[in-house]
Structure 1
């Protein structure tokens, strides 16, 4: 049977447009339903399995977009691809074949949140035009390198989440994280994990380092020097020797376990938390068959 070209589909509600199998053409404005006029009501755009080239003219008719979600797309982005969207706040690019560079995000200074999934990330400055970027989630991505260049000038970043990624090294990346409050590193393959820079993040309140494959040895006691640290997530055996009383602001302990056992049995460890009036939760990696109010189950 001859291969059939996917049918383009487009649906809309008052503020939301969902489009599948659309082909973007260089220099052409994106338009739907034959309406070649400015749309000042649509704020949310989903693009699934789309192809082609997105240029600075693509979104000229949609200046009010607040959120753009790309999923399963094969796209080329030109410089200033989002320049026509003056108040864009969030972009998600997931499970897509695209190349990321800082030129794409020029004139995109209002962006506050970005989620990247299943992409290859270059060993170069990618995000520096994003002066207001507050949250960056990177999931199932492969870093060409991570010597710090990729995260340059992210002075406004408060939340950085890196999960299920492959990084040859994660070390000198923290120098511009002046306002970082949360750092999540979970389920990654990291050749070398250098935590020295983390201890200089004086605004950090939430740290999770759990289930990473790495050759590095982490000195968990050094986290006690961080004055604002309120929430920690480490593997369960770390807490058996860690002096929790040395943390000046600790409020919540999350216990990571890699077994399929639904409840930890170390009563001495729990007593330590209770005596200090510290709330604790459990994060399991494995098959959990019981319902527990204090359990977070990782996929």
Structure 2
């Protein structure tokens, strides 16, 4: 396959830079349009199809950077890879060949959001250095071993989303996720789903457990013991037997719909919601495939 030349160009604004096909070398800085000078305006950096090694020097000239998106990259991250980016708030790593480890996030204390897609998640406390991590999204990833350690020390985490992943086990989380407010588990293959840990997440306000493959039997009535739970999304057949009045704070029931599956039309269930004065809404939970070659982008 022919090697593509590296390119850098502005995005939708002067604060947004795209870099494609770059090869990063150890100790070298990423220069903005070839200039070896500090850039205090770029806040958003997209890296696509890049290779090489990311070190603390790589982004040292981008003093205002708060978001980095890696897509289709094959990269090695050194320890403290993002330490020079003092204002970083969010990192997305999608469909890339990289290894995630605790060491790469050292001295990266401002990071609030991490989104991982199509990666292998090791059985270690990768994110424990991120003292301000507020949102963690893990999509289409494969968890190694039990992964009981992956959520260790995430005391600031409020939003955890796991979709279309393979997990040997999930549930031993309550001690480290004591401030979690939203938990989304959808379209996963989960060997064992331990709900006892989830029931102890006393600050949880929203939960979705929908369309997962698991051998575990879930006692949905136990969710009635969660004092702050306001929004639920469960399998539609669960709603027929659930006593919604037993939820002390319930405000919204979401009804999941999937691609190529008819929208549920259960008048008896809807009447049950109306009689209890419970708000409900249909939520599309399928996956939309987009052919980007046919998408017109207007600048």
State the distance in 1 between where 2:255 and 2:134 align. 27
RMSD over aligned CA atoms reads 5.0
CA gap of 1:34–1:123, structure 2 versus 1, over 3 A, is: same
Checking the alignment, whether the CA contact within 8 Å between 1:285 and 1:297 is kept in structure 2 is no
Checking the alignment, whether the CA contact within 8 Å between 1:142 and 1:165 is kept in structure 2 is yes
How far off is 1:288 after superposition?
Answer: 11
Greater Cα offset, 64-73 or 274-283 = 274-283
Residues 22-74 of structure 1 show CA distances to partners (whole Å, capped at 9, x for unaligned) of 11000111112121011111111000000000001111101210100000000
Residues 58-97 of structure 1 show CA distances to partners (whole Å, capped at 9, x for unaligned) of 1110121010000000000000000001110000000000
How far off is 1:256 after superposition?
Answer: 2.7
Checking the alignment, whether the CA contact within 8 Å between 1:123 and 1:144 is kept in structure 2 is yes
What secondary structure sits across from 1:293 in the alignment?
A: helix
How far off is 1:142 after superposition?
Answer: 0.4
State the distance in 2 between where 1:266 and 1:289 align. 29
Residues 197-251 of structure 1 show CA distances to partners (whole Å, capped at 9, x for unaligned) of 0111110000000000000000000000000000000011101111110000000
State the distance in 1 between where 2:18 and 2:141 align. 25
State the distance in 2 between where 1:87 and 1:70 align. 17
How far off is 1:298 after superposition?
Answer: 26
State the distance in 1 between where 2:224 and 2:131 align. 31
How far off is 1:9 after superposition?
Answer: 6.4
State the distance in 1 between where 2:32 and 2:293 align. 46
Checking the alignment, whether the CA contact within 8 Å between 1:260 and 1:288 is kept in structure 2 is no
Checking the alignment, whether the CA contact within 8 Å between 2:10 and 2:16 is kept in structure 1 is no
| Residue 297 (1) aligns with residue 297 (2) | yes
Where does residue 138 of structure 1 map in the other structure?
138
State the distance in 1 between where 2:294 and 2:267 align. 16
Unaligned runs of 5+ in 2: none
Where does residue 64 of structure 1 map in the other structure?
64
Greater Cα offset, 176-185 or 145-154 = 145-154
Checking the alignment, whether the CA contact within 8 Å between 2:4 and 2:21 is kept in structure 1 is no
CA gap of 1:259–1:139, structure 2 versus 1, over 3 A, is: closer
Residues 234-271 of structure 1 show CA distances to partners (whole Å, capped at 9, x for unaligned) of 01110111111000000000123568453423222111
Give the TM-score taking structure 2 as reference length.
Answer: 0.91
State the distance in 1 between where 2:233 and 2:53 align. 42
Where does residue 108 of structure 1 map in the other structure?
108
Give the TM-score taking structure 1 as reference length.
Answer: 0.91
What secondary structure sits across from 1:31 in the alignment?
A: coil
State the distance in 2 between where 1:268 and 1:160 align. 33
Q: How many residues align?
A: 299
Where does residue 53 of structure 1 map in the other structure?
53
